[in-house]
A and B are shown apart, each in its own frame.
Chain A
Amino acid sequence: MTDYKKQSEDELLEEVTSSEYKYGFTTDIESDTIEKGLSEEVIRTISSKKNEPEWMLEYRLNAYKAWLEMKEPDWANINYKKPDYQDVIYYSAPKQKPVLDSLDDLDPEMKKTFDKLGISIDEQKRLANVAVDIVMDSTSVATSFKETLAKKGIIFCSISEAIQEHPTLVKKYLGTVVPVRDNFFSALNSAVFSDGSFCYIPKGVKCPMELSTYFRINEAGTGQFERTLLIADEGSQVSYLEGCTAPMRAENQLHAAVVELIALDNADIKYSTVQNWYPGDKNGNGGVYNFVTKRGICHSNAKISWTQVETGSAVTWKYPSCILKGDNSIGEFFSVAVTNNKQQADTGTKMIHLGKNTKSTIIAKGISAGFSDGNYRGLVKISKGAENARNFSQCDSLLMGDKCGSHTFPYIEVKNNSSKVEHEATTSKIGEDQIFYCNQRGIGTEEAIALIVNGYCKDVLNQLPMEFAVEAQKLLEISLEGSVG
């Protein structure tokens, strides 16, 4: 066979699966950790280390008791080794001043971490006017632009801080969208959540900047149990970005987060996520377990939009949902989920229509490569009183090669006959034929894949805030092509 530069699809996939995980490194910062295992003792320790008021400790203990009675769910279509909950460290905080007024006060080691992550907070984000709340191993490290936001009455801080400074708000809304007993992981989270973001937008206020948070799991064996609570009061508007990365570890790391969004009358919340947890090596070892409960509740005329680009984690179980309680409320879900190597994903969304004239839109695009399996599970539930509900769902799968799989399980439950529910699903494949066709037209293999994948995802990428969209596009290309940076 003559020797010219050839990139058959098999070889391309080879490259992708053997490319080094870009963010695989650790920060050597002294951490303050407690012993492994979970018990009432541990919870009391966590609560006291954070100086929490009595009501918070009680909330945690009740959650722990509930969790003990619950059983970890078994999901068809996903095979994974169940984590040993006693083999996890539930608290690790880098020894740092808890709150910084500006990023200049950051520990230089930490700052190096952020730079490696390519975040370049102090330049990019400041210029782009983004307030960043970085969660590093269970404690919020810096919250910038607090003052600017405070002028508008916007509260954007860590949840630990909110528990201290804004207890009324926290007490009022915590657990109202995702109750403790909702599921196994929400119970666990409610008991041991370490930190997360808290945001409150007052009546009629339009948040002037994109709010953003970056996550990272650092210490070996540390689960990440962040808790986010975002409240948009009547008539307000906010756009929130969340991006995650994690270092390489031999054992699987647990990420069981809870995100609660409350959109009161006429409010508008846009929640965007770019997720890039460590996916495991090409044999399926290591990698993050991502079990997240994300839910929003819409009051009258309110709107919640979930947009996500997911490329990481070994096992994902995640269903951002909207409860369309108020009349005329709108729920949206835009997602691109990529699985490669031996990743497994069971993701989707739930749209629960309760009020009248509610509307929901779901656009879910899955890309499977390698030996991975991507599942989309969607529930559209139109309850009896949901007059005139409207839903449009589109789930597309793109298969790269013929060793991967994709499955769609749409559940449509309609109990009101004035509703209009539409569902479409398509499957397409990028095979050697498509690549050769592009080659013959002068388009190289990598360019061809980038072209095809971007064309396929553009409906979703268009929903992301500008700066995120660029990063997301890059992330897609990296996770599918194997090119370095």
Chain B
Amino acid sequence: MLDIKNLKASIDGTQILKGVNLSVKAGEVHAIMGPNGSGKSTLSAIIAGKEDYEVDEGSINFQGEDLLDLAPEERAHKGVFLSFQYPIEIPGISVSNFIKTSLAEKRKALGLDPLSPKDLLENMRQKMELLNIKKGYLSRNMNEGFSGGEKKRNEIFQMAMLEPTLSILDETDSGLDIDALKTVANGVNKLKTNNNATVVITHYQRLLDHIVPDFVHVLYDGKIVKSGNKELAFELEEKGYDWITKQF
């Protein structure tokens, strides 16, 4: 479903990604780990289409289409979802209004009729229950005054509502305590199907106890330097990143 070949990218003249290769098939969960500054967030930003970065070389293919040709909202309509490491506050727009608009735009792009208010509310209610989110939350302004944990849960709530094909979770677990982590992981797991895929970017092995990956990759200095299964994450945790960096 996602095919990244030799991706090289830079920002403000500094090269961050130096030839990333990654292949994700439907139904799979991939974890990407790596020390600070290795390029994890850069990779997710580029897949989502953030303009600050220059793609110098390489390609990203999503379901047979060249992703780099599309604007961020077009990629979203095709089914790409990024759970931001630092979710953005948008003053004046309520959570419900934002999701309603987001969903409506997606359906419009796909040529579908918008959901009836009744169906939309019912859908929201179900997903809120899944993620243990209280009723009053819908009328709050997007991420305004949210705690770190609430912001991350809001990301997963949007993911639940938009039902993407490819979800990239950028450090969704950073700063969450164990209970919040379990709720988020539970939500992500429930949304998994054989037709969608998840890329989990994390700094801590702890998350992978709850969202079990099929593949684990280590990103270091802009390249994926090692891949394995979930055992690799345990090794990393035990030995630390120095073990990897020393080899390269």
Interface, chain A (partner B; CB < 8 A): 1-6, 8, 398, 426, 428, 432-434, 436-445, 447, 451-458
Contacts and interface: CB of A to CB of B under 8 A. Distances in A.
Given A455-B93, A458-B92, A1 B71 contact: no
Contacts of B88: 433-434, 437
Contacts of A458: 92
| SS class, residues of chain A in contact with chain B | helix
Given A432-B52, A437-B90, A442-B73, 5 more contacts: A4-B68, A438-B73, A439-B76, A440-B73, A451-B93
A1 B106 CA distance: 26
Contacts, number: 95
Contacts of A426: 91
A441 B81 CA distance: 7
A442 B71 contact: no
B97 A439 contact: no
A211 to B, nearest CB: 31
B152 to A, nearest CB: 14
Interface string B64-97: 0000111111111100111010011111111001
Given A442-B76, A442-B106, A444-B105, A456 B71 contact: no
B54 A441 contact: no
B162 A438 contact: no
Given A1-B55, A2-B68, A6-B51, A440 B92 contact: no
A436 B90 contact: no
B195 interface: no
Contact of B162 (A441, A444, A455): A441
Contacts of A441: 73, 76, 98, 102, 158, 162
B76 A452 contact: no
B69 to A, nearest CB: 5
Nearest to B78: A442
B29 interface: no
A452 B49 contact: no
A437 B90 CA distance: 9
Contacts of B76: 439-442
A455 B97 contact: yes
Interface residues of B, number: 39
B69 A439 contact: no
Contacts of A440: 48-49, 72-73, 75-76, 80-82, 84
B11 to A, nearest CB: 12
B80 to A, nearest CB: 8
Contacts of A457: 92
B50 interface: yes
Contact of B73 (A439, A451, A456): A439
11 contacts: A1-B55, A2-B68, A426-B91, A434-B90, A436-B51, A438-B73, A438-B102, A440-B76, A442-B106, A451-B97, A455-B92
5 A-B pairs with least C-beta separation: A455-B92, A439-B72, A456-B92, A442-B76, A441-B102
B90 A438 contact: yes
A205 to B, nearest CB: 39
Nearest to B80: A440
B101 interface: yes
Contacts of B80: 440
Interface centre among B81, B82, B93 (most CB of A within 10 A): B93
A1 B55 CA distance: 7
A452 B93 CA distance: 6
Nearest to B158: A441
A4 to B, nearest CB: 5
Contacts of B90: 434, 437-438, 452
Contact of B50 (A436, A438, A447): A436
A457 B82 CA distance: 29
A444 B93 contact: no
A4 B70 contact: yes
B91 A398 contact: yes
Interface in B153-176: 158, 162
B109 interface: yes
Contacts of A454: 92
Contact of A5 (B48, B71, B101): B71
A202 B238 CA distance: 86
B91 A443 contact: no
A454 B70 CA distance: 28
B71 to A, nearest CB: 5
A452 B91 CA distance: 7
Contacts of B91: 398, 426, 428, 452, 455-456
Interface centre among B49, B81, B94, B98 (most CB of A within 10 A): B98
Nearest to A457: B92
B246 to A, nearest CB: 36
A445 B51 CA distance: 13
Interface in B91-132: 91-94, 97-98, 101-102, 105-106, 109
Contacts of A437: 84, 87-88, 90
A443 B92 contact: no
Contacts of A439: 49, 71-73, 76
Contact of B69 (A2, A438, A442, A456): A2
A2 B101 contact: no
A139 B72 CA distance: 53
Given A451-B93, A452-B93, A442 B54 contact: no
Contacts of A2: 55, 68-69
Interface centre among A1, A437, A444 (most CB of B within 10 A): A437
